[in-house]
């Protein structure tokens, strides 16, 4: 009888254990589903945070790009203006003024007229000092005829 009671107790214990194992298995499956759901929620939240951070990073990069473009435009404009102003200043300093140009043109006309007058009055004569005594010599045109009573006058070359 004690053996039968022991067997019956063992069977009862075994049924309780099986029942407990089934409940534990059900709890484990339910816990697995809860953990998976919690992991999904956490991943979704973190991915949402990553998307927000990415959006802010994109906005910051676009703002940086606009600032860089603006800075480049300002530097380019400043460099262009300074080089243009430098060139204009050098031109103003080195080039003659309008009044100076007018004075130089008038002087050129006077000099041209003086050269024409000199050419008409013997300015093309090639006159030099010749020989050991440094006597005055003139270049003559040997193809031209001689003039004077004794043919002692010759035509100067160029006239």
CA-to-CA distance for 52 and 29, rounded, in angstroms? 34
Place of tokens 């998976």: 36
pTM: 0.43
Question: Residue 157's CB: how many other CB atoms inside 10 A?
Answer: 15
Cβ contact 125:156 at 8 Å: yes
66/81 Cα distance (integer angstroms): 22
CA atoms within 13 A on the CB side of 120: 6
- Could you read off the pLDDT of 70-110 as tens digits, one per residue? 999 999 999 999 999 999 999 999 999 999 999 999 999 99
- For the chain, the straight-line distance linking the first and the last C-alpha, in angstroms and rounded, comes to 171
Q: How confident is the model at residue 1 (pLDDT cuts 50, 70, 90)?
A: confident
**pLDDT tens per residue, range 52-66:** 999 999 999 999 999
Residues 131-149: pLDDT tens digits? 999 999 999 998 999 999 9
């Amino acid at each position: 009888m004690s053996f039968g009671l022991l067997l019956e107790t063992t069977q009862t214990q075994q049924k309780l254990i099986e029942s407990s194992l089934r409940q534990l298995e059900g709890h484990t499956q339910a816990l697995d589903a809860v953990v998976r759901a919690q992991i999904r929620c956490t991943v979704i939240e973190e991915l949402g945070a990553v998307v927000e951070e990415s959006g802010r990073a994109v906005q910051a990069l676009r703002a940086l790009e606009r600032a860089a473009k603006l800075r480049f435009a300002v530097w380019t404009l400043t460099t262009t203006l300074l080089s243009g102003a430098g060139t204009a200043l050098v031109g103003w300093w080195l080039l003659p003024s309008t009044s100076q140009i007018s004075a130089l043109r008038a002087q050129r006309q006077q000099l041209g007229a003086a050269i024409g007058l000199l050419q008409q009055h013997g300015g093309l004569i090639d006159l030099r000092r010749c020989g050991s005594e440094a006597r005055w010599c003139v270049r003559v045109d040997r193809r031209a005829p001689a003039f004077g009573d004794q043919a002692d006058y010759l035509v100067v070359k160029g006239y």
